[in-house]
């Protein structure tokens, strides 16, 4: 079990002219399933291919073509469900959502309205200040993505790229348990983190592989608690849905704007109209996309081309037994086994690649020191170069070597930074660098003593000053270090200087 | 060399080909000539003589090499609903103008792999929606049969009207059909041939233009029961590309044709005795029962209590699925696209393209289907229909559980009617399916067998309905009925 206990964060309140308002937020996160082939066709899902090159006859909605479920996508949805501690439905079914658009060649999206593959689950969203929100997951269903319409390439024509058509998405639907813009972003971040650990979604928001529809409403303090007690939505305000957000920052901006817009309406004595809105990041505002009256009637009905999807409990158990350690467990273990601080453990487990790198670096040595080196030195250096951990020029075992060299007193922390820089820039082995460059720390007190004696003898005036003002002893330490090329053990030098000067 | 090659059956042609009495090339040429002379029937809407000749040549080589499946060298007509690679495949709709698929349907692939020869594509009702072939963009096919000396043009039935007319008029040895509510069995009965709708899932739907996916099933339309058995074996089988196709072995259906039905229990459903049914149909049904009894079967009265709801149920479910299946015909990627005026956009493109591309019956069904699926009506119509459908299915399960082997019913409520007579009254037209739709709703195999002629000299057929996956048994019952009925009449040639 997790040994992590948190208090719930306070809901975000916005002060209005007539009193305080609270925010209530629910999210529908669309995560592209990490698989080589699409949900119902064998076409590739590779990003960035030539337009309309990853398109099968099925994706193009050609006459007589039929969908066949990709088992890999089902496994990924199950894996994600298990990662979110959710109910796995052994029987689920696909429905058609009908609407016309040129980037939807079939004229319908195959989705799972009535019987989703994953039922209720939960996610713990830490807020970084010691608080955390437990967000309930209502369901996860599998569905097809649409293609891309391009309207700005020609003044008279629109273009359609069907590469994304039919790619598998998992729609992860939360309950309205999120109470502020920061929580919403943190929730998306936590889902992203978990799915990256699971390998079920790469979480690349820029490429649109992770997008969110955000439902926002506002209510008076106390109303939400009434909802919690009764699960009766009438205690909550009318919601608006902001579509297709693909940036954590925009999600926060949009929620904040939308909440304030709704509060202004309500305080003006007007009603919030349930509708779909779009966020304009340039103007920082949301705009009505279509009202409830204009809303599509999607005419959902069971897809007659697909039989109900039935999976075996044994198959689910196999997937469960192969699940990797998830972020919450990993963080707890890092704190427990390596003695890391909560903060360091959070930083290192934020991303699965970071965590794996750290563990490789810490292997067989001081975990806490290794964590310092990974977080402070390596992450800083990578950031400077605009690199990620996956293309770090220095490997985890080499960071481990540096840590071991420090721990064995072979080099000082200061020298270690030089060794790191050389290893980072020239792809060399730290032990070899220390050997070749003669950077090994001098711990032989005889050699250090000789150097101290030499400096004292050569600087009688300084000796007198130091005796009057002991703080000046540091000047001698510096001179000795300089004379030994920085290799002398600083503590040994310090002790000797203090003794010889009789301080 | 045989004299009239077009009078052969598949079985007869197969044997003659193997014996070297005839070549596939000769057979093919005979049919190509017959087709050329039969323009008045408007059965073939795309002719593929080059393909036919090449396939016949290849078939002759296989036959010569001794590697010839039963269908090798057999000239066929293919319903326009099947996508055939490089050949116009329009589902008899204007909206698919110019569409030549880059793929071959599973059914035609299997037939061609077995050496069958494609003579061309056959007329049908647009998107298989119709019972008279009159909704075709190519104009209707004509029934080769006439009422005695009366030259009033009659319907070949629908939707597989071109297939029926072509087989009855000896323009091909057999044809593919598809059956969503009776589209194989009703036209077969109207032209005096055999039409088999297999169990849902027996034949792959991949590459067949979809009408109502949960009901559509392809099957053979042949000159006799044996041919249906031979051709079904080639068409059937599990297809990974169709999730609703069944992973079951395909038996040798022809081997099941023993003609021995002694001890078989044949059910006569009382609900199929319809108000106002012509006495000739009633009499034929009686005769059929007697023939089967004489052959040693036990005739039992059965009840299928939800039968009266079948037609309305069908006309909710089929249009609902069709409204969704036909959404892809939008003018964006293939087929017809309307010309747009300055300033018109994608909405106008959809509206005009579909208004121009679809005929009246297709539009009617798309609208009905859209309506029954719409918010607020879904439960009252579509969901209710699904529930009734499962009750209809259960009616049959109960009867089969009581030991009934097959059910005998009329195939159609009348003989072939005049073209133009019912086309203005959709409900009247829909009543043509009254005996056949239950079979599609329940996913069962059904076969129409020509059994007699009415007073005007038009063919009438009976339908046998079988247990799921027991096409062999069903075909054997049909074979027994066929032998007892001894139906040998042919339409007098007028074309």
Give per-residue pLDDT as tens, B419-464. 998 777 888 888 889 999 999 999 999 999 999 999 999 999 999 9
Instruction: Compute the half-sphere exposure of residue B392: CA atoms within 13 Å on the CB side of its CA.
Output: 25
Q: Is residue A416 part of a domain?
A: yes
Same structural domain for residues A335 and A260?
Answer: no
Choosing from A384, A410, A436, the residue where a domain stops is: A436
Q: What pLDDT was estimated at residue A292?
A: 66
Q: Is residue A402 part of a domain?
A: yes
CB contact under 8 A, A100 and B330: yes
Tell me how many domains chain A contains.
Answer: 3
Strands, E assignment, B109-152: 117-122
Q: Which domain holds residue A411?
A: 325-436
Query: Do residues B129 and B211 lie in contact, with contact meaning Cβ atoms separated by under 8 Å?
Result: yes
Same structural domain for residues A276 and A350?
Answer: no
CB contact under 8 A, B206 and A107: no
Q: Is residue A3 part of a domain?
A: no
Which residues does A451 contact at the CB level (< 8 Å), separation at least 6? Answer: A480, A483, A484, A488
Q: What pLDDT was estimated at residue B53?
A: 98
Angle between helices A352-362 and A181-198 (to 10 degrees): 60
B181, pLDDT greater than 80: yes
* Closest CA of chain A from B374, distance in Å: 5
Q: The domain spanning residue A456 has which CATH number?
A: 1.10.10
Same structural domain for residues A132 and A263?
Answer: yes
B321 in reach of chain A (CB within 8 A) = yes
CA distance B40 to B36: 10
Q: Which residue in this structure is represented by tokens 């040998």?
A: B488
B248, pLDDT greater than 60: yes
Q: Is residue A406 part of a domain?
A: yes
Same structural domain for residues A352 and A466?
Answer: no
Show residues of chain A in contact with B209, CB under 8 Å.
Answer: 63-64
CA distance B350 to B334: 13
**What is the DSSP-derived secondary structure letter of residue B406?**
E
Residue among A371, A333, A339, A354 nearest A4 (CA): A333
Same structural domain for residues A248 and A391?
Answer: no
Same structural domain for residues A430 and A478?
Answer: no
pLDDT digits 0-9 by tens, B275-325: 888 899 999 999 999 999 999 999 999 999 999 999 999 999 999 999 999
Exposed / middle / buried, residue B369 (Cβ in 10 Å: 0-12, 13-18, 19+): buried
CA distance B55 to B372: 46
Q: Residue A495: which pLDDT band, with cuts at 50, 70 and 90? A: confident
Choosing from A249, A277, A294, the residue where a domain stops is: A294
Show residues of chain A in contact with B334, CB under 8 Å.
Answer: 62-63
Same structural domain for residues A429 and A363?
Answer: yes
pLDDT digits 0-9 by tens, A93-119: 999 999 999 999 999 999 999 999 999
Mutate which: A52, A60, A63, vs B, most B CBs within 10 A: A63
Show residues of chain B in contact with A61, CB under 8 Å.
Answer: 328, 333
A459, pLDDT greater than 90: no
Q: Is residue A430 part of a domain?
A: yes
Query: Do residues B120 and B60 lie in contact, with contact meaning Cβ atoms separated by under 8 Å?
Result: no
Query: Do residues B173 and B104 lie in contact, with contact meaning Cβ atoms separated by under 8 Å?
Result: no
Choosing from A253, A274, A294, the residue where a domain stops is: A294
Q: Is residue A311 part of a domain?
A: no
Tokens of B436: 């056949």
* H or E element, residue B195: strand B194-197
Q: Is residue A315 part of a domain?
A: no
Q: Is residue A318 part of a domain?
A: no
Nearest-5° angle of CA B436, CA B440, CA B443?
135
- Total CB pairs under 8 A between chain A and B: 100
Query: How does DSSP assign A136-182, residue by residue?
Result: EEEEEEEEEPP-EEE-SS-SS--EEE-TTTT-EEEEEEE-S-B-SHH
Same structural domain for residues A458 and A421?
Answer: no
Which residues does B473 contact at the CB level (< 8 Å), separation at least 6? Answer: B256, B405, B406, B466, B467
CA distance A92 to A114: 8
Same structural domain for residues A460 and A430?
Answer: no
Q: Of B183, B204, B245, B323, which one is the catalytic site residue? A: B183
Q: What pLDDT was estimated at residue A250?
A: 96
Kindly identify which residue of chain A lies nearest to residue B328, measuring between CA atoms: A106
Same structural domain for residues A431 and A471?
Answer: no
Q: What pLDDT was estimated at residue A316?
A: 98
Same structural domain for residues A451 and A386?
Answer: no
Total-model pTM: 0.91
A236 three-class SS = coil
CA distance A353 to B36: 72
The complex's ipTM? 0.96
* Closest CA of chain A from B397, distance in Å: 20
Which residues does A228 contact at the CB level (< 8 Å), separation at least 6? Answer: none
A503 three-class SS = coil
Instruction: Compute the half-sphere exposure of residue B314: CA atoms within 13 Å on the CB side of its CA.
Output: 31
Nearest-5° angle of CA A88, CA A90, CA A94?
95
Same structural domain for residues A461 and A418?
Answer: no
Q: Which of B105, B209, B320 sits opposite A301 (nearest CB)?
A: B320
């Amino acid at each position: 079990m997790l040994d992590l206990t948190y208090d719930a964060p306070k809901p975000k309140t916005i002060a209005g002219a007539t009193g305080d308002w609270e925010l209530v937020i629910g999210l529908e996160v669309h995560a592209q399933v990490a698989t080589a082939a699409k949900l119902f066709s064998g076409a590739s899902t590779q990003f960035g291919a030539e337009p309309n090159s990853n398109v099968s006859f099925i994706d193009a909605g050609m006459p007589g073509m039929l969908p066949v479920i990709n088992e890999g996508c089902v496994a990924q949805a199950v894996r994600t469900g298990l990662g979110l501690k959710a109910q796995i439905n052994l029987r689920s079914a696909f429905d058609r959502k009908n609407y016309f658009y040129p980037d939807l060649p079939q004229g319908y999206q195959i989705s799972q309205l009535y019987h989703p593959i994953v039922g209720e689950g939960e996610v713990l969203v830490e807020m970084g200040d010691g608080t955390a929100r437990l967000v309930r997951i209502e369901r996860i269903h599998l569905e097809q993505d649409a293609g891309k319409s391009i309207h700005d390439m020609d003044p008279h024509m629109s273009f359609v790229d069907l590469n994304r058509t039919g790619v598998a998405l998992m729609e992860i639907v939360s309950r309205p348990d999120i109470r502020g813009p920061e929580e919403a972003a943190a929730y998306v971040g936590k889902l992203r983190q978990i799915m990256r650990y699971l390998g079920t979604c790469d979480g690349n928001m820029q490429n649109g592989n992770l997008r969110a529809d955000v439902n926002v409403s506002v209510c008076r303090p106390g109303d939400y608690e009434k909802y919690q007690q009764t699960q009766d939505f009438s205690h909550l305000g009318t919601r608006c849905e902001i579509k297709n957000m693909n940036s954590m920052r925009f999600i926060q901006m949009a929620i904040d704007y939308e909440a304030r817009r709704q509060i202004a309406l309500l305080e003006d004595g007007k009603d919030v109209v349930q509708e779909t809105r779009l966020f304009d990041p340039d103007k920082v505002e949301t705009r009505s996309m279509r009202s409830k009256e204009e809303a599509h009637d999607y005419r959902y009905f069971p897809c007659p081309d697909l039989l109900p999807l039935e999976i075996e409990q044994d198959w689910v158990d196999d997937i469960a037994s192969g699940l990797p350690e998830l972020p919450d467990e990993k963080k707890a273990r890092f704190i427990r086994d390596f003695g890391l601080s909560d903060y360091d453990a959070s930083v290192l487990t934020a991303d699965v690649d970071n965590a794996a790198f750290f563990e490789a670096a810490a292997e067989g040595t001081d975990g806490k020191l290794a964590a310092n080196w990974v977080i402070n030195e390596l992450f800083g250096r990578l950031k400077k170069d605009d690199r990620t951990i996956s293309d770090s020029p220095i490997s985890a075992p080499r960071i481990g070597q540096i840590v071991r060299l420090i721990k064995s007193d072979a080099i000082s922390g200061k020298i270690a930074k030089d060794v790191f820089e050389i290893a980072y820039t020239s792809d060399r082995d730290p032990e070899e660098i220390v050997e070749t460059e003669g950077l090994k720390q001098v711990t032989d007190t005889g050699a250090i003593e000789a150097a101290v004696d030499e400096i004292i003898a050569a600087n009688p005036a300084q000796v007198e000053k130091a005796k009057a003002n002991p703080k000046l002893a540091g000047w001698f330490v510096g001179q000795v270090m300089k004379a030994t090329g920085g290799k002398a053990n600083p503590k040994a030098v310090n002790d000797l200087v203090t003794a010889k000067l009789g301080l | 060399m045989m004299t009239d090659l077009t009078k052969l059956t598949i079985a007869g042609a197969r044997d003659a080909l193997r014996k070297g009495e005839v070549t596939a090339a000769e057979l093919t040429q005979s049919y190509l000539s017959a087709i050329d002379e039969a323009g008045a029937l408007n059965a073939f809407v795309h002719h593929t003589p080059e393909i036919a000749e090449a396939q016949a040549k290849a078939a002759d080589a296989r036959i010569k090499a001794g590697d010839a499946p039963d269908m090798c060298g057999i000239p066929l007509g293919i319903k326009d609903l099947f996508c055939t690679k490089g050949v116009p495949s329009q589902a008899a709709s204007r909206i698919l103008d110019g569409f030549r698929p880059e793929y071959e349907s599973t059914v035609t692939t299997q037939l061609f792999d077995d050496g069958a020869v494609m003579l061309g594509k056959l007329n049908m009702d647009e998107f298989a929606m119709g019972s008279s072939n009159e909704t075709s963009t190519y104009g209707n096919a004509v029934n080769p049969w006439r009422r005695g000396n009366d030259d009033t043009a009659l319907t070949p039935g629908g939707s597989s009207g071109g297939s029926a007319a072509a087989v009855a008029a000896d323009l091909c040895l057999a044809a593919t059909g598809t059956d969503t509510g009776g589209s194989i069995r009703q036209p077969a009965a109207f032209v005096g041939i055999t039409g088999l709708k297999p169990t849902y899932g027996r034949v792959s739907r991949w590459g067949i233009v979809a009408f109502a996916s949960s009901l559509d099933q392809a099957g053979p339309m042949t000159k006799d029961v044996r041919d249906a058995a031979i051709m079904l074996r080639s068409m059937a089988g599990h297809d990974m590309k169709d999730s609703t196709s069944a992973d079951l072995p395909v038996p040798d259906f022809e081997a099941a044709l023993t003609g021995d039905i002694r001890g078989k229990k044949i059910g006569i459903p009382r609900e199929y005795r319809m108000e106002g049914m012509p006495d000739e149909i009633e009499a034929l049904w009686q005769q059929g029962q007697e023939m089967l009894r004489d052959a040693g079967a036990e005739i039992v009265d059965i009840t299928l209590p939800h039968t009266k709801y079948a037609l309305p149920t069908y006309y909710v479910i089929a249009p609902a699925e069709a409204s969704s299946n036909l959404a892809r015909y939008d003018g964006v990627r293939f087929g017809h696209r309307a010309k747009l005026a300055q300033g018109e956009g994608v909405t106008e493109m959809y509206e005009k393209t579909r208004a121009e591309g679809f005929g009246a019956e297709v539009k009617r069904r798309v609208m009905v289907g859209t309506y029954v699926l719409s918010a607020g009506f879904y439960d009252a119509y579509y969901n209710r229909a699904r529930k009734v459908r499962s009750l209809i299915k259960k009616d049959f399960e109960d009867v089969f559980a009581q030991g009934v082997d097959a059910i005998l019913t009329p195939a159609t409520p009348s003989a072939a009617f005049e073209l133009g007579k019912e086309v203005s009254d959709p409900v009247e037209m829909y009543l043509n399916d009254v005996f056949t739709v239950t079979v599609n709703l329940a996913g069962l195999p059904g076969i129409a067998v020509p059994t007699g002629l009415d007073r005007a000299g038009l063919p009438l057929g009976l339908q046998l309905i079988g247990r799921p996956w027991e096409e062999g048994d069903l075909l054997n019952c049909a074979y027994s009925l066929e032998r007892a009925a001894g139906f040998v009449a042919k339409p007098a040639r007028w074309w």
